[in-house]
Amino acid sequence: AAGVIQSPRHLIKEKRETATLKCYPIPRHDTVYWYQQGPGQDPQFLISFYEKMQSDKGSIPDRFSAQQFSDYHSELNMSSLELGDSALYFCASSLGLKSSYEQYFGPGTRLTVT
């Protein structure tokens, strides 16, 4: 079965650079979520989209922005990168907005800021 696809899988950037992470949800899934997991930490919710509109927002820095496109894929744009942004970034998708729907996670993008 098709799963959530994230690209790139690994990314190395320097401080103050920008990065763009991409997420392709499971076919027919209309809701996308972004999470950040620092080293040894639990995943923290950043932002979510439903039908191309932002549906919820968590602890996402102002330096980050995201959007969902007409084909339901999503991109997380990160600017003025800081060392503390080094983390594993997960995208998850689900069918619908109801919380009872299971979220399926992608393999993650490991971002290293040097």
Q: How far is the CB of 57 from other proteins (least distance, A)?
A: 9
Peptide bond into 43 cis (omega under 30): no
Q: How far is the CB of 107 from other proteins (least distance, A)?
A: 4
Q: Which is nearer to other proteins, 44 or 79 (CB)?
A: 44
**Which positions touch other proteins (CB under 8 A)?**
31, 33, 35, 42-45, 48, 50, 55-56, 58, 88, 90, 92, 94, 97-100, 102-108, 110
For residue 17, what are the contacts with CB-CB under 8 A and spacing of at least 6?
Answer: 81, 113
Q: How far is the CB of 36 from other proteins (least distance, A)?
A: 11
Determine contact, residues 75/22, Cβ cutoff 8 Å.
Answer: yes
Residue 58: closest CA among 30, 84, 36: 36
Q: Which is nearer to other proteins, 16 or 58 (CB)?
A: 58
